[in-house]
Structure 1
């Protein structure tokens, strides 16, 4: 997912019969340009500002070759610099089936539950076909299963039923599915780091295969359109929880004391899917998490709006032990984490050992919720995360890298550049510790900030390890790197680079604790004044380079 400088590419999974999305990296001198111009077959088709490194191309013809070029718009408006060029052939276009017309003639008023008819239309759709919910139509449905090589185009509204019974497999449906289904009709999925039986989501694709979690069993799926996927929200989620709140059938679900909480389905769930594209739509009012990607490979999300304000556990976009995921041009108004990168909880996450890696996040706006979380479910590891050109303002935590002390796993190779964020938190957390401890401490490494502006809230940059009391052990510190001496109560954050960081907070203070190999470069306030650098305990190998206080 790390593109080479000045290389123009098509965003993965976005090439279709009549559209595609171009993406590129900013050149080194992007501060000196006004924006970018996009050319199709040597004709100018659009321009974007400097902060935008993507362009959606539409109204193309299927199975046709095109030449695309992107050039900078320099500040002097005289010299253009080529970002790159690309020759591409669009795909063949499948047939479009309007589900409000015969033979399905599904009720467009949203008054009739249409799950069976809608599922039949999906099952009947030929390869590469497009299933259309037209504008002004509202379709009421329970859980649906998408299949490989199809597009679901929603220009109207797909509305989720409020009845939990519409999100389980009936005995008749169990005969057709290859998913793991228990006696209650719940499916095997993953929630908060454990594989467990849950209700189905409104939209489902793929299934969890515990014998082979890395081989895709569903692929080449697009969900697009100008419409809305509207779930059952807290009303549905509460009903799902209530059914299982007093049951002792699933004791591991109530380890946090809240019976039935983990049984809820999501709004959209992809499991062991490959080549998925989500674009254009608004996704709103989930029963808990909004978009959950479990053991997936190559997923691109762009141009969507995620709304889960007021939803209990209303995460926005959650790649969970998934690889090669990209999200951009997306807005969040969430009741929990806008984005949460996950890879399982101890001890199961350590044993399954599938990392969440190669994630690119750019040109986003997060204006509510908790912000962006990397962990704490990171027992399988999280690696190679690029976050750039994002606005994260008005959130609780900004960007937070976190792990419980018993979690194990790692977070490494995280780069945050050209962003405006509320704060950066890199630390251990005490909550969500309800599994057998791992045999090693979490390890955080190679966290890099470049040209990041921090607005400042209760904490601006909080980078520290925390002591823990482990049962039958001496007191340790949760390690972003393991202590060199097992008896040493010191653990360090390693290889942290703060480069061209600006702070905007009342104290203008830069605080670092329990760290080594720290490189501070050009740390200033929003007004360009020197920041006050305060060091806590156990600091090693600090370099202050090109800092006004040095």
Structure 2
């Protein structure tokens, strides 16, 4: 067969054009990625979040028998008002000015529990009121345990709003001693959470994949409940209220979607008093809040060890903005219960400042937790003072408690921009990756850190990319 020279030449020209086109397209794609504003994605996430709205109907708890003397138990009044609101198609359950004592509050679909200015809800110190046990979670492991103080299970369109205060009444004689620490009221010989029938038993059930229905704790056990926990919920709003004296984690949206936390004040310095812990949750917007806590201000989680890998729901699309972080182990933290992974976290326009704030941005995991953290963007952050580090990435968290396994964590794409630090701590930047899987793609741009004892310590990481970064007045290259 004889080839036509003209046809052959034309085919070759077409081939060259295709190659050139592909190269140009690849070049353009790389350029788009390099110049793209990641916070445009944050804005898109915010727009996608459905914030609940409610019919214009009001159900005053005093009309259902609540007494505002701070002594009369109004649990039934709260329950009846919430049920009436739900049955009427939704609306506002009003807590008027005054002090109301109650047991746990369980929200239903389309209910906005609204605390008027000057109102305070005191939660009972009688632990039997938090029974029967409900499906909940403790440090990344699901179980049947005491009810959270405010709880919603697989509900839609719920809210906790207003200018009032929720007082968990946890202190050195109520809930806190169960943590086992003397400074929180624990006395030697008394039962506490590390006893064999508590956390060790729950950890073993996790390893053995015991169904959560058979992990029954509650009475006779010492595992503290969360304060506010929407479990498996859609369209959740927490706005304006103040939380204080929490037994355990303060706000814990778990397996929930479309969560807005706006203008909330957390002032609670007990053990494990994290401010807000989204877990297995998607599309979360935390804004205009003040966190003054006994543990992490915000801690993004996704299950502990085998449990997290079984559930396999990453926490993702989380935007934190215009917040103030005071005391706490960390400002915005990912981990340590992180086995299903965390992605797409955006932090902007926040102020973090306290001699009791340990770190500004923190990632903590180990080889039992494993998991991944990717696509973390931090911008326009003012840090007054931190004790340990501005950025800390630790893949050896808890190793002195024998927390080593075979699940090497993956950490990549961590970006800080426009960050100023008036007084650093022990380190400016502290990164401790794993030799088997080094941390990848950390960039710092327009960052100034003053007063750090050790400017930078990096182990098992790709070289950090610096652009206009100074630590203790020294330009970083």
Output the CA distance in 1 between the equivalents of 2:448 and 2:195: 52
Partner SS state of residue 124, structure 1: helix
Q: Deviations over 1:369-400 (max 9, x none)?
A: 11232111110001000011111121012211
List per-residue Cα deviations over 1:427-450 (Å, max 9, x = no partner).
223417879966430110011111
Offset of residue 501 of structure 1:
1.2
Per the alignment, residue 163 of structure 1 pairs with 126
Alignment partner for residue 332 of structure 1, among 291, 305, 320?
291
Residue 296 (structure 2) pairs with residue 296 (structure 1): no
Give the equivalent residue in structure 2 for 1:223.
160
The Cα of 1:236 is off from its aligned counterpart by: 2.8
Q: Per residue, is there more strand in 1 or in 2? A: 1
Which of 109, 127, 131 aligns to 2:93? It is 131
Q: Distance in 1 between matches of 2:239 and 2:277?
A: 16
Match of 1:374 in 2: 334
User: 2:111 touches 2:159 (CA, 8 Å); kept in 1?
Assistant: yes
Alpha-carbon distance, 1:204 to partner: 0.3
Q: How does 1:270-285 map to 2 (within 5 A)?
A: 270-285=230-245
Give unpaired runs (5+ residues) of structure 2: 1-37, 180-189, 205-217
The 8 Å contact of residues 191 and 262 in structure 1, kept in 2 or not, is answered as no
Q: 1:507 to 1:122 in 2, by over 3 A?
A: closer
Give the SS at the match of 2:62.
coil
Change (3 A) 1:151 1:11: farther
Matched residue SS, 2:298: strand
Instruction: Report SS of the residue matched to 1:111.
Output: strand
The aligned counterpart of 1:152 is: 113
The reply to whether residue 415 of structure 1 matches residue 377 of structure 2 is yes
Given the alignment, which residue of 395, 407, 431 partners 1:440?
407
The verdict on how the C-alpha distance between 1:251 and 1:268 changes in structure 2, with shifts beyond 3 A counting, is closer
Q: 2:474 aligns with which of 524, 530, 543?
A: 530
Alpha-carbon deviation of 1:225?
A: 0.6
- Between 1:387-396 and 1:261-270, the stretch displaced more is 261-270
Q: 1:249 to 1:130 in 2, by over 3 A?
A: same
In the other structure, the counterpart of 1:143 is: 104
The structure whose residues are more often helix, as a share, is 2
Kindly indicate whether residue 189 of structure 2 is the aligned counterpart of residue 252 of structure 1: no
Q: Please tell me whether the aligned partners of residues 347 and 437 of structure 1 are also in contact (alpha carbons under 8 angstroms).
A: no
Greater shift in the superposed pair: 440-449 or 414-423? 414-423
**CA gap 1:273/1:390 in 2 versus in 1, 3 angstroms:** same
Tell me: higher relative CO, structure 1 or 2? Use CA pairs within 8 A at least 6 residues apart: 2
Cα distance in 1 for residues equivalent to 2:161 and 2:334: 27
Q: Matches of 1:320 and 1:15 in 2, distance apart?
A: 20
Q: Is residue 158–residue 230 contact of structure 1 (8 Å, CA) maintained in 2?
A: yes
Q: TM-score, normalised by structure 2?
A: 0.77
Cα distance, 1:418–1:245 mapped onto 2, change above 3 Å:
closer
Assess, with a 3 A threshold, how the Cα gap between structure 1 residues 513 and 431 changes in structure 2: closer, same or farther.
Answer: closer
Deviations 1:415-468 (A, max 9, x none): 111112331101223417879966430110011111112331122210122xxx
SS of the aligned residue for 1:350 comes to helix
Q: 1:245 to 1:501 in 2, by over 3 A?
A: closer
8 Å contact kept, 1:380–1:409: yes
Q: Are 1:122 and 2:78 counterparts?
A: no
Structure 1 SS opposite 2:427:
coil
Taking the aligned partners of 1:432 and 1:400, their CA distance within structure 2 comes to: 17
Check 1:331–1:251 CA distance in 2 against 1; reply closer, same or farther (3 A cut). Answer: closer
SS in 2 for 1:236: coil
- Rounded to whole Å, the distance in 2 between the matches of 1:2 and 1:457 is 28
Contact 2:42–2:317 (CA<8 Å) still a contact in 1? no
Cα distance, 1:221–1:243 mapped onto 2, change above 3 Å: farther
Decide whether the 8 Å contact of 2:52 with 2:158 is kept in 1: no
Quote how far apart the aligned CAs of 1:251 are: 6.0
* CA pair 315-123 structure 1, distance change in 2 beyond 3 A: same
Is contact 2:194-2:200 (8 Å) kept?
no
1:517 CA displacement: 4.9
Residue 188 (1) aligns with residue 135 (2) = yes
Match of 1:426 in 2: 393
Q: Deviations 1:181-226 (Å, cap 9, x if unpaired)?
A: xxxxx222111121122211111001xxxxxxxxxx2110111111
Where does residue 464 of structure 1 map in the other structure?
A: 432
Question: Does the alignment pair 1:504 with 2:414?
Answer: no
Residues in 2 aligned to 1:6 and 1:201: alpha-carbon distance in whole angstroms? 32
Q: Does structure 2 retain, via aligned residues, the 8 Å contact 1:342–1:382?
A: yes
Return the offset for 1:495: 0.9
Is the 8 Å Cα contact of residues 301 and 327 (structure 1) preserved in structure 2?
A: yes
Q: 1:202·1:268 contact (CA, 8 Å) conserved in 2? A: yes
Asked if structure 2 preserves the Cα contact closer than 8 Å seen for 1:270 and 1:292, the reply is yes
8 A Cα contact 1:346 1:437, kept in partner? no
1:521 maps to: 467
Match of 2:319 among 360, 374, 380: 360
Indicate conservation of the 8 Å contact 2:149/2:228, yes or no. yes
**What SS is found at the alignment partner of 1:319?**
coil
CA distance in 2, matches of 1:463, 1:328: 28
> Normalising by the residue count of structure 1, what TM-score does the alignment of the two structures yield?
0.68
Cα distance in 1, alignment partners of residues 459 and 141 from structure 2: 33
Gaps of 5+ in 1: 18-92, 170-185, 207-216, 466-477, 484-490, 534-543, 545-550
**Residues 130 and 271 of structure 1: CA distance in aligned 2, closer, same or farther (over 3 Å):** same
SS at match of 2:395: strand
